[in-house]
């Protein structure tokens, strides 16, 4: 619970994957703590921010075990420095979440769990998933969502390549192009035509490009859901979907952004 002095519990962030999304995590967590506690309060954060070029190189050569060792070691360091919760600020790198969870004694807030909880709270079960190729094609993320009662559709080719390339060639570099927004929205429309009831923005950069205002389906921006769940945990609240979101399509327009 919140300390007698009124300070929130300390969150350890594994970030920088990319820096663009990590900035959003810190902004959202701090804004939610300030909203709840008022005054000059902000979050208590310990941050390990990586050079994403190093992480991307590990991804590109499939060195997931090496990446897991790296992130797990730094999660232990965050715990040793006083972190009471570990948050991995990326969807794709949740592929190595088991290595992180095995390395620490404090809780680990899994991004797919907070997302599945929001989808269920909206009364949905079958949603489209956008993300990097690793997230869309790998079982690690879709299976975790399935464990949470959510089944997923992913784009067909060439739409998967389109989304992946927009993420790595533009969004992680801070480039937000209206033409790319229109192309990704068209991918979402094709998923809707295949039966998707909602859309998971399963890459922390996608919601920098596409918001709930751009789509007709319920929209689940994973960065915001994850960050607000972490903030609620730090404030002593449950980490599932709360009143601020309700787990519905307009979560990207809630307090804090």
Active-site annotation holder among 90, 92, 114, 135: 90
194 backbone φψ class: left, alpha, beta (φ>0; ψ -120 to 50):
alpha
203 tagged catalytic: yes
Pair 94, 202: CB distance under 8 Å: no
Active site residue 89: no
Catalytic residue among 89, 114, 203, 222: 203
3-state class percentages of the chain: helix first, strand second, coil last, to nearest 5: 55, 10, 35
Q: Which residues contact 77 (CB under 8 A, 6 or more apart)?
A: 48
Length of the chain, in residues = 257
Tokens 């990207």 — which residue? 252
Q: Which residues contact 172 (CB under 8 A, 6 or more apart)?
A: 18, 20, 52, 56, 205
Residues that are catalytic = 90, 203
């Amino acid at each position: 619970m919140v300390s007698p002095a009124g300070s929130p519990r300390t969150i350890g962030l594994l970030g920088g994957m990319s820096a663009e999304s990590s900035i959003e995590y810190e902004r959202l967590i701090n804004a939610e703590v300030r909203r709840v506690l008022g005054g000059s309060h902000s979050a208590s954060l310990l941050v390990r921010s990586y050079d994403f070029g190093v992480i991307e190189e590990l991804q590109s050569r499939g060195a997931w075990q090496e990446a897991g060792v790296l992130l797990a070691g730094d999660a232990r360091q965050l715990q040793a420095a006083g972190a009471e919760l570990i948050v991995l600020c990326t969807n794709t790198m949740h592929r190595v979440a088991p290595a992180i969870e095995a390395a620490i004694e404090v809780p680990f807030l899994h991004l797919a769990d907070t997302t599945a909880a929001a989808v269920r709270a909206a009364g949905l079960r079958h949603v489209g998933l956008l993300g990097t190729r690793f997230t869309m094609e790998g079982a690690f993320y879709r299976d975790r969502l399935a464990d949470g009662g959510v089944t997923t559709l992913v784009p067909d080719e060439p739409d998967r390549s389109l989304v992946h390339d927009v993420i790595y060639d533009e969004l992680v570099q801070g480039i937000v192009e209206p033409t790319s927004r229109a192309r990704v929205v068209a991918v979402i429309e094709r998923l809707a035509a295949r039966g998707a009831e909602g859309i998971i923005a399963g890459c922390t950069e996608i919601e920098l490009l596409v918001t709930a205002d751009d789509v007709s389906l319920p929209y689940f921006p994973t960065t915001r859901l994850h960050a607000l769940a972490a903030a609620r945990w730090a404030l002593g609240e449950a980490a599932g979907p709360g009143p601020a979101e309700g787990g519905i399509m307009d979560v990207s327009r809630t307090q804090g952004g």
